[in-house]
Amino acid sequence: MDADGSHPAKYFPEIWRRRVESDLVIGSRLAPGGGMDIPYHRRLLTRVLNRFFRSLFRLPAADCSSGYRLYRAETVKGLTGIADGFDVQQENIIWIVRRGGHVVEVPIHYVWRQEGESKARILKFGIGYLKLVAKYWFRND
């Protein structure tokens, strides 16, 4: 959950409830019933990146990049990866799904940050995503 107010806490009880049926519960902006109040260019980038990763890796979630998540501890124990930025979201879901983990989404309504400024940098994003594709597209680990 982001600390800037963009992930409203009111969705957490449902995320917590759904943990019993899943290895990863995602608070999803893109699942039916979800939404986001963000600038157009960010909304477009979110949709394009999610569609790309979902299609390329056959991921079972509409919102692979949401940071509003709850992981089952046993599932991620031993998780090793290369991500060192926002790309950790995609790497974690790829890792979980490839090991037979179950993912569910809870629709949320994401709001633009209430405080602070974004740490997201397009160049760093791009490099991280390219490294993930190189690692996971050509290998099945």
Q: Give residue for tokens 């009880």.
A: 13
Residue 127 is predicted with a pLDDT of 77
Residue type, 108: I
Residue 119 is predicted with a pLDDT of 60
- Residue among 91, 83, 44, 40 nearest 65 (CA): 91
- DSSP labels, 35-71: EEE--HHHHHHHHHHHHHHHHHHT-S-S-TT---EEE
Mean pLDDT of the chain: 87
| Cα(112)–Cα(38) distance, integer angstroms | 5
Give me the sign of the Cα torsion angle 31, 34, 38, 40: positive
Residue 114 is predicted with a pLDDT of 61
| Cα(39)–Cα(20) distance, integer angstroms | 35
Residue 141 is predicted with a pLDDT of 58
Residue 83 is predicted with a pLDDT of 81
The number of C-alpha atoms within 13 Å of 100 and in the hemisphere containing its C-beta is 1
CB 132 within 8 A of CB 83: yes
Q: Mean pLDDT in runs of 10 for the chain (141 residues)? A: 79 96 96 92 90 92 94 89 83 92 96 66 72 76 58
CB 29 within 8 A of CB 40: no
SS3 109: strand
Does the predicted model carry a pTM greater than 0.75?
yes
